[in-house]
Copies of this chain bind each other. A is one copy, B any other.
Amino acid sequence: MENRVCKLFGIKYPIIQGGMVWCSGWKLASAVSKAGGLGLIGAGSMHPNNLRHHIRSCRDALEGKLPFGVNVPLLYPQIEEIIEIIVEEKVPIVFTSAGSPKKWTSHLQKHGVVVAHVVSSSLFARKCEEAGVDAVVAEGFEAGGHLGREETTTFCLIPQVSETISVPLIAAGGVASRASYNAAFALGAHGVQIGTRFALCEESSAHPSFKEYCRGLSEGGTKVLLKKIGATRMACNPFCEKVEEAEQSGVGPEQLKELLGSGRSKKGILEGDLIEGELEIGQITSMISKAETARQIIQDLVSS
């Protein structure tokens, strides 16, 4: 029986590469799609014109023969322009996140786009299904970057979402090894979305210092902070310690926003500033220690 996620996206293996800020441009997305998974361009860290460039470069790299997609955080300031570019460029697949799936799903589908939406609870998974999405990504507390408020872990979340929806379910958060790949299916998922391991691979556009630092982290090397303004998992570093200290002393949202400032994740992930940057990465980074290509990752996961 054909896997539902493979069938929906026209891919060989039910492995999606998460569309991550500062990591997933056309190089990573096309490498993943070439290796049999689904590569996603992360629009969250791109100006609209830059996104257009990445879409065209990705299609060229795939010689128009293999599917790829774009991840769009719906709270993006220039969201209308982003959606327009996606439609104009005939992007076949879009993963939306951070916003209501009601707003853009049917518009994209009318233009032939397959739409998946990322959630962190069964309640929002049901809302996705009501909005007509083609697939749901359920992401657990162990994931890197922005997280849901409820802190539901992948192990608790997937079986509950699986009982809630009938469209294909993609598990995210903590998937990095063959063991966790297999366990995701046992929990009820039809496919997986992998962020951290791809963020640290060769084709990722993250800074080499960021990759090396994250590959060197041990268990407990990440923390979830900034809960008062939007919970975010990041690697422990001086910036992270500064935020933690402020939080423990009870500072409010305004002071936290000021402390965060703007461009922190760019500074950390793209520019490799390990002191002042915000290093968004998932908890499972402690299992990743070596440099590898996107193809090697996929081959490792699907080898029995």
List A residues at the B interface (Cβ < 8 Å): 121-123, 140-142, 149-160, 162, 173-174, 177, 179-180, 182-188, 218-220, 223-224, 228, 248-251, 283-284, 286-287
Measured in the bound complex, the distance between the Cα atoms of B151 and A8 in whole Å is 35
A225 to chain B, nearest CB (A): 12
> Given A219-B150, A287-B160: A142 and B155 within 8 A (CB)?
yes
Measured in the bound complex, the distance between the Cα atoms of B162 and A179 in whole Å is 10
| Chain B residue nearest to A223 in the complex (CB) | B151
Q: Which residues of B contact A286 (CB under 8 A)?
A: 156, 160
With beta carbons under 8 angstroms apart, the residue of B183, B250, B251 that contacts A155 is B183
Q: Which residues of B contact A153 (CB under 8 A)?
A: 140-142, 153-155, 174, 283
A216 to chain B, nearest CB (A): 15
Best-surrounded residue of A183, A184, A248, A250 (most CB of chain B within 10 A): A183
Stoichiometry, copies per complex: 2
Measured in the bound complex, the distance between the Cα atoms of B152 and A286 in whole Å is 10
Measured in the bound complex, the distance between the Cα atoms of B235 and A176 in whole Å is 31
| Chain B residue nearest to A123 in the complex (CB) | B219
A233 to chain B, nearest CB (A): 10
Q: Are A186 and B177 in contact, with the CB atoms below 8 A?
A: no
A226 to chain B, nearest CB (A): 13
Q: Are A154 and B155 in contact, with the CB atoms below 8 A?
A: yes
| Chain B residue nearest to A252 in the complex (CB) | B248
> Closest 9 CB pairs between A and B?
A250-B250, A150-B220, A183-B186, A153-B153, A155-B174, A183-B183, A159-B179, A182-B186, A155-B155
| Chain B residue nearest to A148 in the complex (CB) | B220
Q: Are B283 and A156 in contact, with the CB atoms below 8 A?
A: yes
A268 to chain B, nearest CB (A): 21
**Selected A-B contacts with CB under 8 Å, 12 pairs:** A141-B153, A149-B220, A151-B224, A152-B283, A153-B153, A156-B284, A156-B287, A159-B287, A160-B286, A180-B187, A182-B186, A250-B250
Q: Are A180 and B159 in contact, with the CB atoms below 8 A?
A: yes
| Chain B residue nearest to A152 in the complex (CB) | B219
Q: Are A249 and B250 in contact, with the CB atoms below 8 A?
A: yes
A195 to chain B, nearest CB (A): 13
Measured in the bound complex, the distance between the Cα atoms of B248 and A248 in whole Å is 8
Q: Are A156 and B179 in contact, with the CB atoms below 8 A?
A: no
A139 to chain B, nearest CB (A): 12
Q: Are A156 and B174 in contact, with the CB atoms below 8 A?
A: yes
A222 to chain B, nearest CB (A): 9
Measured in the bound complex, the distance between the Cα atoms of B152 and A156 in whole Å is 13
Q: Which residues of B contact A140 (CB under 8 A)?
A: 153, 155
